[in-house]
A and B are shown apart, each in its own frame.
Chain A
Amino acid sequence: GQNIDQPTEMTATEGAIVQINCTYQTSGFNGLFWYQQHAGEAPTFLSYNVLDGLEEKGRFSSFLSRSKGYSYLLLKELQMKDSASYLCAVTDSNYQLIWGAGTKLIIKP
């Protein structure tokens, strides 16, 4: 079966760094997405990885290791507005998005 695992909830302090991990087992792989979703709102795109390595975009970076079926989202200089759920999603061989359950990130002052 297809499976994506990420922690249910994480807590971090404003100004700090947090890493949200995602492991996946899917039928085929055509890329991995990270989305941010604030409560009551639709998800918004953060990053896309299809090759191994680190993609940096401002305070957010995303890493992928295809051989390990592993990705992480790194958030630096945390701000209160970063409190949200972070969704990991993998595109399988049929280009369908398989979603993780999401990680709720709580930022404390």
Chain B
Amino acid sequence: GAVVSQHPSWVICKSGTSVKIECRSLDFQATTMFWYRQFPKQSLMLMATSNEGSKATYEQGVEKDKFLINHASLTLSTLTVTSAHPEDSSFYICSARDQGDRDYYEQYFGPGTRLTVT
């Protein structure tokens, strides 16, 4: 099956610094990737849809200047949390959409990145 990797798997940073998270589709090309965040005991919250070669589409309430998304190639999307604060501490998960030889799209998830801002 399709594999999506995420790096780093966990990161601790100081308040005010920026953190970049990478999401890669390893064995398929993904024109569309998604970024989610998940707080403990809550469901996934879609932050933005990342389309290769164009600007990301952000969900309502998500600050695009704070969460910078770049999808410069068909296998890589990055999320940069700028000027991180403790309330940004969360589990960030990316997914990549692939149709393959099916008649539907399936989302493959990366393993997630646990961000802790101190």
Contact = CB atoms under 8 A, between A and B. Distances in A.
Contacts of A30: 104
Contact of A45 (B93, B106, B112): B106
Contacts of B108: 45
B43 A102 contact: yes
Given A30-B104, A50-B104, A42 B46 contact: no
A60 interface: no
Contact of A96 (B49, B91, B111, B114): B49
Contacts of A40: 91, 112, 114
A42 B43 contact: no
Q: Looking at chain A, what size class is its interface with the partner chain?
A: 20 to 34
Kindly state the interface size class of chain B when it binds its partner.
20 to 34
Interface in A74-102: 85, 87, 91, 95-97, 99-102
Interface residue SS majority, chain A: loop
B109 A87 contact: no
Nearest to B32: A95
Contacts of B107: 33, 45, 97
Interface string A35-48: 00000111111001
Contact of A101 (B43, B111, B112): B43
Contacts of B104: 30-31, 48, 50, 91
Interface string B28-51: 000000100000011110100100
A109 to B, nearest CB: 23
Contacts of B44: 43, 87, 99
Interface of A: 30-31, 33, 40-45, 48, 50, 85, 87, 91, 95-97, 99-102, 104
